Amino acid sequence: LNRQDWERMQERVELNSTCIVVIPGHDTVTFEEESIQNIGTIKVHIIRVWIIDMHSGNRGFVSVDWYLDPAEYFSSSQVLHAPIDITSGEVVLKIVTERGNIFSVGLPPM
């Protein structure tokens, strides 16, 4: 393995769906404190959040610039304005890291 492959394998991100709020009609996604935790052994740079509306099939992403050290929780509330119409609140969120890993969480309808 080269260094880049090794680092990619060390990334682990956990998403806490109880700390993520999606409001249909307002087309926003709020990541509250402790909604994301780096459970890996290496610093993680989150560069993109994909938002997929499971009811309509609409999807889009928002570019972000979030860093988490090992064992660190997301420490501030962030509101993202979705580039799509969120119709039902039943969404899948995919967090993409700079190293190319993808971590997902499904949220039930509101």
**What tens digit of pLDDT does each residue of 11-26 get?**
999 999 999 999 888 8
pTM across the whole model: 0.92
- On the question of pLDDT at 89 being above 80, the answer is no
pLDDT at position 110 = 55
Please state the rounded mean pLDDT for residues 69-73. 97
pLDDT of residue 109: 60
Overall average pLDDT of the 91-96 stretch: 97
Domain ranges of the chain: 3-107
CA-to-CA separations, 107 to 7, 64, 69, 82, 92, in angstroms, rounded: 29, 20, 25, 15, 6
Task: Quick: pLDDT tens for 51-64.
Answer: 999 999 999 999 99
- Using CA atoms, how far residue 102 sits from 37, 45, 82, 87, 91, in Å, is 14, 12, 18, 24, 16
81 CB neighbour count, 10 Å cutoff: 9
Please state which CATH number belongs to domain 3-107.
2.60.40
